[in-house]
Amino acid sequence: MDKIFVVAGKIGTLEFNQAKNEIVSQLRKQRRLTTHLSKAAKILVLGGDGTMLKAIRQYGVNEIPFCGLNFGHIGFLMNEYIFNTIKQITDNKLNYISVPLLEAKLFDRHDKRIGLTYAFNDIYLERSSTNTAKISISVGKEVYFDPLISDGVIVASAAGSTGYTASAGGVIVPIETNSLIVTGICPALFHRWKSSQLAPDSRVILAAKELDKRPVRMVADGDEIPNAVKAEIYYSDKKVCLAFLASQDFRRKVLDLQFHNRV
């Protein structure tokens, strides 16, 4: 019998707490609930997309499928919580999608390598003061902006193309494309350019300029990375598996977002 490990967000509403308690109670009665990740066949995430991203950053290296139930807003990465949701999950009436993570080599202001990070949705540089940022953008050895004057630059995965980059005016693409999406946040110059869709094997380099006058911060899936002002971003060999209820049309959700008619 498959065991399920539960991760719950900090939503705090009465409705959410009641639903969470009911779900946990059902799984416990069925003897499917486990508090040991090593024994789990699925990770059930209760909350919104932010909760899912945090769960992936914390537990994604275990290669256990994540199945989300939406108690947030759009919940692109989540399933709708309906009357028989838990039964569908325990009966394994699910479709699985394997998604590569973004990987980034990180550098400090002296161009010294300081680490490596991973993200499911996006990695971006953004201004951290009232001054606009100056960020160079290269794809491979080709420099396209040196610099782009803007509030920041986002590099998103195909899965993350419905998130922050979409809010900034970036293109939305199906997960299966494995494209990289590069989007400028409120560009002050080159405003005819907004977003580009790149091939899966692309490597994007973002590097902040004039840091004393124009400080920036680097963020990966909502987590700030101290001292990082330059990143080489590409798809990793590491993957995360997402599970969607067979009764819910995940691909239709993406299509609706692409046409902006059901957001």
Kindly report the number of other CB atoms within 10 A of residue 2's CB atom: 12
List, in order, residues 6 or more apart from 34 with CB less than 8 Å away.
3, 4, 5, 40
The span from the CA of 29 to the CA of 123, in Å, is: 41
In the numeric block, the tokens 């939503």 are attached to 11
Which one of 49, 91, 111, 223 is the catalytic residue?
49
Give the separation between CA 66 and CA 240, rounded to whole angstroms: 8
49 carries an active-site annotation: yes
What are residue 208's DSSP bridge partners?
A: 135
Give 127's contacts (C-beta < 8 A, 6+ positions apart).
133, 151, 152, 214, 215, 216
Supply 218's token pair.
Answer: 């680097």
Positions annotated as catalytic residues are 49
